[in-house]
Structure 1
Amino acid sequence: MRSASSRHRLLLLGLFGLLLVSCVVSLGFGSAPVPVEVVWRVLLFKVFGITPDTPAWSTGQEHIVWLIRVPRMLLAALVGGGLAMIGAVLQAVTRNPLADPHLLGVTSGATLGAVLVVLHIGELLGVLTLPLAAFIGALCSMLLVLAIASRHGRLDSDRLLLCGVAVAFVMMAAANLLLFLGDHRASSAVMFWMLGGLGLARWELLPIPAISVLLGLALLLGMARSLNALMAGEQTAVTLGLNARKVRLLAFLICSLLTGVLVAISGSIGFVGLMVPHIARRLVGAEHSRLLPVCLLLGSLFLIWVDVAARTLISPEDLPIGIATAAIGGLFFIGLMRRR
């Protein structure tokens, strides 16, 4: 037991160190490359106020690194880590290894709510309007899936997945209809957002997803034992005195809130919540107090480097990050199915 705990701590430290290195190195990539030593000096100057005797960077490089790439990198880390945690929790409460916010209709519901606000309602509540609309859409979508999938008060994982796919198609059809009926100039701008992107990253927008992800991690870690029991099966959970329905509802509520916030800022990014939990379970097993922090770190690492690829492959244009994650996710599961 002690050696397993030591290995887990070493793994967390290793992943955290790799994440820190990736955060710095990734800032140098883009349509305008910036040397790593310049990136490091700009960060030291901006974060700690350490000024070299002769600044070795231009104003343009400082602007690119600090005002454009650092917020984008931090948003990629938050979105990747958050989606990976959501996927792990949904796979536990549904007992379905294919569950993720994309396949269960949560992402599509959040997309519909956000498109409705952007094109037809407007920002009635200021900055909070878009995250709130995406959250309401995600929650309504998840509740609709649960209502359709439940039979005699019980949830079948296969039925839940099929209902999620069906509801996702309906929600995306409604979102596409709103796009068609809306202003075509605004619709073209929304299309890039629907495909997933981190171009909206700004320093003033980061506190909302940061607080949401950290609060979500704390709440889900507090539910770790309940999630372990649900993963073992509903009969086991009832034997342990667990109210499975209440735990499921709370988990779905937290996942809907997180998905709504992340989709409102980054658009629809699929397959992160599907892939990363499988990789994390191979490293630390299915015990959620260990699994969730590893999912957070792995998801952050994954999306940071996918974003690097997205902004360099067809430079100076940005490839929508949802396209890149979908391609990688599809190849990942083709390989997984061929092996198993």
Structure 2
Amino acid sequence: MNRRAALLLIFVPISLWLGLSFGASNVSVIEALQCGLFARVDPSSSAQGANCVAHHLHWQILVDVRLPRVLTAFLAGAGLALSGHVLQRVSRNPLADPYLFGIVAGAGLGAVVGQLVVTRLGLQLAMPLLAFIGALTVTCAVFFVMCRQRWQQIERILLAGVAMSFLCTAMTSFVLYLQSPHAANRVLFWLMGSLAAADWAVVALLLPIIVLGSVIIWGASRVMDAIQLSDDAVHALGINLNHVRIVLMVVVSAMTATVVAFCGGIGFVGLMIPHVVRFSMGNHRTLNIIGCIIGGGSFLVLVDLAARVVLPNQEIPIGIITAAIGSLFFLGLMQAKRT
């Protein structure tokens, strides 16, 4: 493992510690851990007991608010970065990304419809569930287009995703236009990406899907390397290319749809992090997968931290920050290639 890989590995505890240490409340992580893990709070004792009561409250903030939010950010970032890595490999296009494939736009349309259901029927799970269905519907539509062309021009899969993204965005705008301003503002904030609703239930839903998807992608890493060859060369190796692409796309869609359903539209993570990882670690398949998990997770934890602390008493949608960073990143990348 080279120095850059070691630095990326050290990045994980640093980002997690920063995510737990800073926020709207001034919380001492060390003192809260000492009181929450080792001390018993006795409110009837002296000033030391009063301090421990305060630290116990800090412990509750850490366990019930910050820790699930940090874990959600890490899982979401890891899932998006890993999805972008797979899409770039499968489509042989370095610009492939879950956002450009229309998955986020499909989830957004489902979320808007889910908001109507929540408002009228009070079913709280309708919004994430329909967001998940919307993302998978877009993926199936892209599959249908490519299957009709028998996957002959794989680069067109990105164009099909962009077309579906525009379609879903237009339908979303129309539905929002028909809703009340309050409902529209709530959905618009969600579409820009937010982890404000993160809790242990969200972590419990994200964790198995991201872990299972990572394991499947890890097992298919050799095949993804072979996909970089021409289609004829891949078939000569005895690999069913269409089958592999469909399986990997389903895995990516499941991970991305789950992330988008609970965290909203977060762009550029799946586009930017795989490039950074390849630049840092080369094209080693194992290091690329590990790097995407570590880099994407840590990056989104820090972005969420910035969204919480940059403006006092306000929270910036994390999608705005990731889009700004991603745009500057690729402008710098284009400039570097020119020189």
Please give the TM-score of this superposition, normalised by the length of structure 2.
0.88
% same residue: 37
Distance in 1, matches of 2:225 and 2:183, equals 45
How far the C-alpha of 1:271 sits from its partner, in A, is: 0.2
1:128–1:185 Cα change, 3 Å: closer
CA contact 2:114–2:128 (8 Å) conserved in 1? no
Counterpart check, 1:75 vs 2:63: no
CA contact 1:77–1:303 (8 Å) conserved in 2? yes
Per-residue deviation, residues 132-169 of structure 1 (Å, max 9, x unmatched): 42232112212222333566412434422222222111
Distance in 2, matches of 1:127 and 1:265, equals 12
CA contact 1:43–1:66 (8 Å) conserved in 2? no
Counterpart check, 1:331 vs 2:319: no
174-183 or 304-313: bigger deviation: 174-183
Task: Give the aligned residue type for 1:65.
Answer: L
Task: Give the aligned residue type for 2:30.
Answer: W
How far the C-alpha of 1:113 sits from its partner, in A, is: 1.6
1:263 pairs, out of 260, 264, 277, with 260
Task: Give the aligned residue type for 1:197.
Answer: S
Per-residue deviation, residues 196-236 of structure 1 (Å, max 9, x unmatched): 00001112221000111111101111111111111233222
1:298–1:52 Cα change, 3 Å: farther
Note the 1:94-113 alignment, pairs <5 A. 94-113=91-110
142-151 or 259-268: bigger deviation: 142-151
249-258 or 230-239: bigger deviation: 230-239
Note the 1:156-175 alignment, pairs <5 A. 156-175=153-172
1:141–1:20 Cα change, 3 Å: same
Distance in 2, matches of 1:214 and 1:127, equals 26
CA RMSD in angstroms comes to: 2.5
Distance in 1, matches of 2:153 and 2:133, equals 25
Counterpart check, 1:42 vs 2:32: yes
How far the C-alpha of 1:181 sits from its partner, in A, is: 1.8
CA contact 1:119–1:187 (8 Å) conserved in 2? no
Distance in 2, matches of 1:195 and 1:26, equals 20
Based on CA coordinates, which of the two structures has the bigger radius of gyration? 2
2:312 pairs, out of 312, 315, 336, with 315
Q: Secondary structure of 1:18's partner?
A: helix
1:285 pairs, out of 261, 278, 282, with 282
Note the 1:173-252 alignment, pairs <5 A. 173-252=170-249
Distance in 1, matches of 2:88 and 2:122, equals 34
CA contact 2:78–2:292 (8 Å) conserved in 1? yes
Which runs of 5 or more residues in structure 2 are unaligned?
A: 42-47
Which runs of 5 or more residues in structure 1 are unaligned?
A: 1-6
1:20–1:126 Cα change, 3 Å: farther
